Amino acid sequence: MAKFGTVFCEEFVRVEYRDGAWQQPLMQPIGPIPMHPAAHVFHYASTCFEGFKAYRRADGAAQIFRLRDHVARMQKSAASLRLPVPLAAMLSQMVIDLVSRQASKIPEPPGSLYLRPTLIGTEKNIGAAAAPSTEALLYVIASPVGDYFAGGAKALKLLVDDQRARTTEQLGSTKTGGNYAAALGPTLDAKAAYGVDQVLFCPHGDVQETGAANFLLLSDKEVITKPLDSSFLHGITRDSILRLAAELGYRVSERNITVSELLELVATHEAVLSGTAATLSPVGCLVHNGREIRVRDGNPGPNAEKLRAALQAIQTGRAPDTHGWLTAV
Ligand SMILES: *Cc1c(COP(=O)(O)O)cnc(C)c1O
C-alpha cells in the first residue's frame, strides 16, 4: 500500500458558503480547486480540518467511526477561527454520500478509508487580516489507507521539550493548519539533533502532546492522561480509549503530569501516542536534557496492544457497538 495520505478516491464532495448561506453540495471528480491568489486562507490561515475513518465490515457494508463527534469538533474549530460553521446535517450527509459512492474502495481491515473534511476561507481580500472571511469552501476528500503497523509496531523515540508549546493557548484545541506549521520547525530540529521521531511538548514542565497525537501512560491498572483544557487537541481516539479502559476495569486518571513525574512513571508505565491514523503507537524512549530514558524495557507493551485491539474490534464490527459510535452507510 502507498504511503499514508498519498492516494485519493476519484471523487470528492464540496460546498461553498456565500451570501450568508451554505449552497448546494456537489460531488465532483477530484482535481484542482481554482482559487483567487488573494483568498483569505493563503494570507491569514483561515483553515481547519478533520480526520477520521470508514471501515469495511465482513458483510461488505461500510461504517464510519464517530462521525457525529468529528463533525462537532469541526464545528468547534470553524467557530474558533470565525469561519462559517458547517451545518452538522449537511457535513454528515456529504461524508455519508462520499463513503457510500466509494464503498468498494475501502480496503479490508486493518485498512480503512481515511476521510478529510477541510474548510478554508476564500474571500478575495488581502485587507482582511483582522476580519473573518465572508466566503468559504468546505470539501471532503477520501484516501484508502493500509495497516499503519504493517511491518510491526516500532516503538517511537520522543524528545521531551519542557520549554516550548506546540502552539498557542487560543488555538490549542483547534484542528488548524497553522498549529502543524508551528510544530514543524521544533520537530525537524529535534529529529536532526537527537534522532527522535516526535517532540512531546511540555511547556513549563506540563506534559501536553506531540505535533499531531495525544499522549497517554498505561499500566495494568490505570490510564493516565492530561484532562481536557484549551492547550491541546481533544482527540477522539483518546476519548474512545478512556471509555474502553474504564469498561475493562482500568482506573482512568485524567490529571496533569509534570516532566519530572513523567520521567519516573515510565520506569513502570507504558507510554503511547493516540490518534486516528495509528490508534495507539507505543513509545520506547524519551530524550530529556540530552539523556535517554527508556520506557520500561523499551519495547511495545501489552496494555497498549489490549486497548488497541478492543478499539479496533468495535471499529471493524467484530465487537458490538454498545456506545453508538458507528454510522452505517
Ligand atoms: C488530530 C489530532 C489528534 C488526535 O485526534 P483524534 O481525534 O484521536 O484523531 C491529537 N493531537 C493533535 C494535535 C491532532 O491534530
User: 232 C-alpha to center of ligand 1: Å?
Assistant: 9
pTM here is 0.97
Residues 230 and 170 sit within 8 Å (Cβ to Cβ) = yes
Q: What is the pLDDT of residues 110-120, one digit of tens each?
A: 899 999 999 99
CATH number, domain with residue 202 = 3.20.10.10
Q: Which of 94, 110, 145 is at the close of a domain?
A: 145
- Closest ligand 1 atom, residue 73 Cα: 7
User: Is there a single domain that holds both residue 303 and residue 195?
Assistant: yes
User: Is there a single domain that holds both residue 307 and residue 186?
Assistant: yes
Q: What is the arithmetic mean of pLDDT over 165-183?
A: 97
Residue 137, domain extent: 11-145
Read off the pLDDT band of 154 (50, 70, 90): confident
- Closest ligand 1 atom, residue 237 Cα: 8
Tell me the three cell numbers of residue 241.
480509549
Around ligand 1, the residues with Cβ closer than 6 Å are 51, 175, 209, 212-214, 233, 235-238, 274-276
Contacts for 40 with CB less than 8 Å, ≥ 6 apart? 46, 120, 121, 122, 123, 125, 128, 133, 135
User: 180 C-alpha to center of ligand 1: Å?
Assistant: 11
Read off the pLDDT band of 150 (50, 70, 90): confident
Number of domains in the chain: 2
Determine the Cα–Cα distance for residues 270 and 222; give it in Å rounded to an integer: 10
Residue 1 has what pLDDT?
62
User: Is there a single domain that holds both residue 48 and residue 110?
Assistant: yes
Given a cut of 80, whether residue 103 has pLDDT beyond it is: yes
User: Is there a single domain that holds both residue 64 and residue 190?
Assistant: no
DSSP 128-189: -TTS--S-EEEEEEEEEE--TTTT--PPEEEEEESS--SS-GGGTTS--HHHHHHHHHHHHH
Determine the Cα–Cα distance for residues 11 and 244; give it in Å rounded to an integer: 35
User: Is there a single domain that holds both residue 123 and residue 220?
Assistant: no
Residue 292, domain member (yes or no): yes
Q: For a pocket test of ligand 1, which of 70, 80, 214 has the largest count of ligand atoms closer than 8 A to its C-beta?
A: 214
User: Is there a single domain that holds both residue 133 and residue 35?
Assistant: yes
User: Is there a single domain that holds both residue 140 and residue 162?
Assistant: no
Determine the Cα–Cα distance for residues 53 and 277; give it in Å rounded to an integer: 9
CATH number, domain with residue 83 = 3.30.470.10
User: Is there a single domain that holds both residue 79 and residue 160?
Assistant: no
Which of 175, 191, 221, 306 is flagged as catalytic?
175
- Closest ligand 1 atom, residue 275 Cα: 8
Determine the Cα–Cα distance for residues 94 and 12; give it in Å rounded to an integer: 9
